[in-house]
Structure 1
Amino acid sequence: MLLLQMTNILGPIIAITAIGYMFGRSSIRLHTETLSVLIVLVATPALIFSTLTSLEVSLEVLGIMAGAAALCMAVSAGLAALVLTCTGRSIRSFLPPLIFPNSGNMGLPLVILAFGEQGALLGVAYFFVVALAQHSIGFSIYAGSVRLRVLLRQPLFYALIAVLLVIGFSIPVPQVVLTTTQMLGGMMIPAMLLLLGTSLASLKVADLAPALIVATGRLLIGVVSAVVAIMLLDLRGVPAGVVFLLATMPAAIVNYIFAERFQFNPEQVAGTVVVSTVLTFVCLPTLVWAALAISKSEAPLSALLTRSGT
């Protein structure tokens, strides 16, 4: 029974990523730049809006998951700075990959397949905080200066504002808007996995030793940050399982995109992303098993979700 459950969760992730990888290795190439722009500018804000408004999440639940995401990133930042300082690695190059997990491309499909509708709700509430931080703090680290105006150009920022207004003031959303955003958001998960596979086919590993060190650090730091957040926020049940899975995802591909844009060790960052992703794929059965085990406990936050849906 457990083996079947794990197959049902991991099978689609591996299959769609493999399809993207084969496209990346074949003469029929997916245009990754167009695909990534479509995901960031259209699919992601649509998914955030449709999921958080159609499932009637409360601001309290939204705040708890956002707080868990922020706490995981804060703990990761502290541990990452310590690891990089002790190992003599470049903080500017490797701090973002250690802080920001791939909670979109890999994390969201996993929590949706593992925990269903509740996983989608909690996962999106966690993911939007990571995405906002990636496109503001992460971007600024690689740029070498604070670039908060970049955040103001992100549609997902305004999607979040719209969600807060709808939830906070109980504004009814027209069905045509819900249907449109649901259709647009529905393409995000498969598009992200295809992009992940295609990107892995084109990225090369430079300097395997530092890439392996940082990739291992990302996984271990993710586990520690998840445990700290779950304990401090007293999360149990499905919310705890969602936080654990999303916090332990590999280094996000967007880190390589920013490193390439500002020409700050892009080859080494690419190697880190590849090795981190492969390492996480190897560990996925264990990570998913742990998340499912964690989710079986009684969850005070689950009571909040039940009340918000009634």
Structure 2
Amino acid sequence: MLAELFAVMAPVLIVAGIGYGWVRSGQGYPTDFVARLVLNVGTPCLVLSTLSRTEVDVQAFGQMALACVAVSLVMGLIGLALSRAMAQDWKVLVPAYLFPNTGNMGLPISLYAFGEQGLALAVAFFLMLSVGHFTLGMILSGAERSWRRLLVNPIILSLCAALAVMLLDLELPRWLANTVNLLGGLAIPMMLITLGVSLASIRVQHIGRGILLGALRILCGAAVGWGMGVALGLSPLAHGVLVLQSAMPVAVFNYLFAVRANRSPEAVASLVMCSTVLSFVLLPLLLAWWMPIAR
């Protein structure tokens, strides 16, 4: 089991470590360009290529999307309760609890832990969460105020295309399938490298509070994901993916949005860094629990 866990987590640690070491060594990294490339090109192609080549039951896909919405609502309420209990700004803590890092970390870990079927289900969770993150999340953080611009976000458009492929049982032409497979292949490694770069660039304050809130974000996410999976009667594979995606650390985009809006970026940075570091300890425990069940 230890060898299997290492095989799942090692690629994530190594590739993110490359990004971290790259910046720490003084090398330049065009974070804004890479982030736009991944979001506008790599991620939509990854979604199309994954869903077009993997047979995913439409009902299972819909259940995962519904579970994502339900988990997000509960986690938002938990974030609101904690913000009041700890006298924190709810516009800082609620987005952090609503929107975990299901892309940079959730997709590769789901792939290596649960295979192509697990990746397809993780994509369903990621898509639904991304719709909320790049609409409601940007509004809450103050990073964007125009709903019209949000509606033409590539993530939203890729969701529409992915649903059309699934619901109409379409088959992509070979030239298009090869193209989206090629472009989709850059998404996960570039996500992980950018994660490492972002972590190297973040300056953390209030570490004690960050560790507490970061640990609560992961543990509460896992518990809520488990409860929603039981309530919806998910299969063991879908249940494992749901628990894993729900337990991801705070997404780096929350920090970028906070910087853009100048809304307590130091507090958000602490949540991102502390929860990410803790995830490398807590996520292997979740995998040790769920990998044998899902298989």
Band of TM-score, shorter chain: over 0.9
Indicate conservation of the 8 Å contact 1:240/1:294, yes or no: no
Which residue of the partner structure matches residue 306 of structure 1? none
* AA in 2 matched with 1:8: A
What's the offset of the Cα at 1:245? 0.8
Decide whether the 8 Å contact of 2:96 with 2:250 is kept in 1: yes
Aligned counterpart, 1:34: 33
1:70-81 pair list within 5 angstroms: 70-81=69-80
Tell me how far apart the structure 2 counterparts of residues 68 and 172 of structure 1 sit (CA, whole Å).
27
Report the Cα offset of residue 129 of structure 1. 0.7
Q: Tell me if 1:66 matches 2:65.
A: yes
Alpha-carbon distance in 2 for matches of 1:8, 1:150: 41
Amino acid in structure 2 at the alignment position of 1:167: M
Q: Secondary structure at the match of 1:171?
A: coil
Q: Is the 8 A contact 1:52 1:125 kept in 2?
A: no
| Residues in 1 aligned to 2:145 and 2:66: alpha-carbon distance in whole angstroms | 23
Counterpart in 2 of 1:129? Answer: 128
Match of residue 305 from structure 1: none
Match of 1:244? 243
**2:58, 2:4 → 1: CA distance?**
32
How much does 1:116 deviate? 0.9
**Cα displacement (A) at 1:211:** 1.7
Q: Secondary structure at the match of 2:222?
A: helix
Which secondary structure does the structure 1 equivalent of 2:250 belong to? Answer: coil
Q: 1:212 — aligned with what?
A: 211
Q: Distance in 1 between matches of 2:90 and 2:108?
A: 30
Aligned-residue sequence identity (percent) comes to 34
Measured in 2, the distance between the counterparts of 1:16 and 1:171 equals 34
Q: Which residue of 2 aligns with 1:171?
A: 170
Whether 1:15 aligns to 2:14 is yes
Determine if the alignment matches structure 1 residue 114 to structure 2 residue 102: no
Specify the code of the residue in structure 2 equivalent to 1:169: L
Query: What is the Cα deviation at residue 166 of structure 1?
Result: 2.4
Cα 1:294/1:76, change in 2 over 3 Å: farther
- Map 1:198-209; keep pairs closer than 5 Å: 198-209=197-208
Quote the Cα distance in structure 2 between the aligned partners of 1:162 and 1:47: 12
Provide, for residues 221-260 of structure 1, a one-character-per-residue CA deviation record: whole Å limited to 9, x for no partner.
2122212211111113111111111110100000011101
Residues 118 and 145 (structure 1 numbering): CA distance in 2 closer, same or farther, change over 3 Å?
closer
Shift in CA distance, 172/10, structure 1 to aligned 2, threshold 3 Å? closer
How many Å separate the matches in 2 of 1:170 and 1:144?
37
Q: CA deviation at 1:216?
A: 1.9
Structure 2 counterpart of 1:9, one-letter code: V
Query: TM-score, normalising length from structure 1?
Result: 0.91
Aligned position for 2:52: 53
Structure 1 match to 2:279: 280
Shift of 1:209: 2.9
**What secondary structure is seen at the aligned counterpart in 2 of 1:121?**
helix
Please name the residue that 1:4 is paired with.
3
Gaps of 5+ in 1: 297-310
Tell me if structure 1 keeps the 8 A contact 2:244–2:283.
no
Question: Does the 8 Å CA contact 1:98/1:214 hold for their aligned counterparts?
Answer: no
Superposed displacement of residue 64, structure 1:
1.0
Q: Contact 1:53/1:166 (CA < 8 Å) preserved in 2?
A: yes
Aligned residues: 295
Gap runs ≥5 in structure 2: none
SS across alignment from 2:27: coil
Q: Who is 1:299 aligned against?
A: none
Residue in 1 that maps onto 2:184: 185
Is contact 1:135-1:150 (8 Å) kept? no
Contact 1:139 1:147 in 2 (8 A): no
Q: CA RMSD in A?
A: 1.6
